[in-house]
Chains A and B, each alone.
Chain A
Amino acid sequence: MSVSLERMTAASREVNGAAMAAVLASGIGALAMGFVALLNEVGAFTVPALYAPAGGVTGRTTLVTVIWLVAWGVLHARWKAREIAPGGVTFVTFALTALGVLAAFPPVWGLL
């Protein structure tokens, strides 16, 4: 009984800010991936290859990984001690992810 009560208390003390930061950062990373791929395909922005045999994809994915990690770090620092309303973060994350997937979808590139 006391163990259960301790668990309840510990759970209620947890704030979700760090988790919400990770969630939103993944959406930002997804959008960045799509956006960088799209810009590369239309010739507006080219990232140099990090590993020449694999080509430009290595530069693009490394850049996006850095963007994702920086966004995560900044959000984590700002939210880690706060309780964040999950509804808005969830909606924005999945909207960013949908846009990112769409922008990384090759048939879309042909429309531009």
Chain B
Amino acid sequence: MLFSERSIWTMIHGVGLGGAALLGLAAALFYLYATRAPAGPGEPAAGARALAAVTTLTTAMLWLTVITGTYVIFPPYRVTPPAGATDLAQFPRAMLLANPGTAWLHRFAMESKEHMPWIASMLATAAAFVVVRHPSRVFQDRALRSVSLGLLAVAFVLTAYMSLLGVFVNKVAPLH
């Protein structure tokens, strides 16, 4: 088999769900930014509905990324190798920690990834709620639009940063 089940889950988590979340966050950010000029009273409902749909879908993707990362990817990553094991290829955390040159990938990268993505998901959820609750006002109210933009921007930066760290970890110690 070309890809193992664990490898497929890693791709679903990082490329499928995480990639979709990044794209969705970027799209929502762009749309909100592009409409930064005060909109007229006749703001097209189609645009508002599209923004609400993209933001909601993105938030769902982000939560799925976080949940699969914690409950599907992390358990095989952290499995402790049996005593005396010399081939650590099946034990990514142990493999990273065994080498001083790669230990930071667990102590910094993976430990960041344990908690920060949850923050991004909560912020994106708040932004989605604002956009869904006030589909018209979010275009007309500068404060509401600014806070939505800010939440999405922080969620985007955190998600992009966590994705980059995930790529680093997966390059050095992939789940086979």
Contacts and interface: CB of A to CB of B under 8 A. Distances in A.
Contacts of A34: 115, 119
Interface in A30-88: 30, 33-34, 37, 51, 53-55, 57-58, 60-61, 64-65, 68, 86-87
Interface string B107-123: 11001101110110011
A29 B129 CA distance: 15
B49 interface: no
Nearest to B140: A11
A49 to B, nearest CB: 11
B42 A106 contact: no
B134 A14 contact: yes
Contacts of A3: 42
- Which bucket holds chain B's interface residue count? 35 or more
B62 to A, nearest CB: 12
A93 B147 contact: yes
Interface residues of A, number: 44
Given A33-B122, A86-B144, A106-B108, 13 more contacts: A4-B42, A11-B137, A22-B129, A29-B122, A30-B119, A33-B116, A54-B74, A54-B75, A57-B114, A68-B122, A90-B150, A93-B151, A104-B115
Interface of A: 3-5, 7-8, 10-11, 14, 16, 18-19, 22-23, 25-26, 29-30, 33-34, 37, 51, 53-55, 57-58, 60-61, 64-65, 68, 86-87, 89-90, 93-94, 97, 100-101, 104-107
Interface of B: 40-43, 70-71, 74-75, 78, 107-108, 111-112, 114-116, 118-119, 122-123, 125-126, 129-130, 133-134, 136-137, 140-141, 143-144, 146-147, 150-151, 154, 158
